[in-house]
Homo-oligomer: A and B are copies of this chain.
C-alpha cells in the first residue's frame, strides 16, 4: 500500500523549513506541502487567542489541499493550538512540543531539563506539561529568549554578539537550576544557533549539556504516525511551498532549508 498524498507542514514563517529539512532526510520519498505564514510572522510574541486563530487557518489551508497528515512545525502554534486542532482535524496532527519533550526525557540523566523558546511558547507551559507527563519527577526550567529569532534571521549565528546574547539568557537558566543537563531548543529558528548555544551552555554550566533539537524529534514521530496509518509512499519526494508574503525568501529559505527555495507560491489566508 502506498499513499501518495503529501504531508502538510505549516509554520509562522520560514523557521519551519528546519523541520522540512529533517523530514526530507528521514523520509526522502514523501511529498511535502509547506505553508509559511510569512505575512503574519512571528507568532511567538502574540496572545494564545491570536495564535490559535492563525494556526486554524493554516491547518484548514493544508487539509483543503488533501494532505494525509499535518505537521505543526512552529513551537508557538503547537504549544497553543495543538489540542484544539487534534480534536477537529480529519487527518493526524503532529506538533513540536511532545516529540521534543520525549527526546529531552530520554536524553537527561539528572531529570533537570532547560527549555528555551519564544514568549508565547514559554508562557503556554506546554513543554513543562509534556515533560512532566512523561517523567513526573522531572524539574523543568523555562526561559523566553526573544533575541534569538532575529539573531538567526540576521545570520549572526556565531561571534561575539551571538555569544553575549546566548550567555545573557543561559546564565539565567543555569542560575535557576545548576543541575540541568539537557537543553531543549523549543523554537524552529534555534537549530541554526546550535553551535553557539552548545558552547555557551558548556561555558556557563562548566560541563557538557545535551542539546535537543525538536525538528529531528518531530521527523521521527511523523515517520511513526505514517507507518502506523500505513500511509507511507515511494514517490519522488517533491517539496512545494506556499507563503503569505515573499519578502526575504531568497535569502532566508536556503539558510533554514539547507537548499535553495525556488518553488513557491504566494497565497492569501
Contacts and interface: CB of A to CB of B under 8 A. Distances in A.
B46 A245 contact: yes
A245 B168 CA distance: 28
Interface in A177-216: none
Which bucket holds chain A's interface residue count?
20 to 34
A47 interface: yes
A147 interface: yes
Interface of A: 38-41, 45-47, 49-50, 119-120, 146-147, 149-151, 153-154, 156, 160-161, 164-165, 168, 244-248
22 contacts: A38-B46, A39-B46, A45-B153, A45-B247, A46-B247, A47-B246, A47-B247, A50-B245, A50-B247, A119-B248, A120-B247, A146-B150, A146-B153, A146-B154, A147-B147, A147-B150, A147-B151, A147-B154, A147-B156, A149-B150, A156-B168, A161-B161
Given A38-B46, A161-B168, 16 more contacts: A39-B46, A40-B40, A45-B153, A45-B248, A47-B246, A47-B247, A49-B245, A50-B244, A120-B247, A146-B154, A147-B150, A147-B154, A147-B156, A149-B150, A161-B161, A164-B164
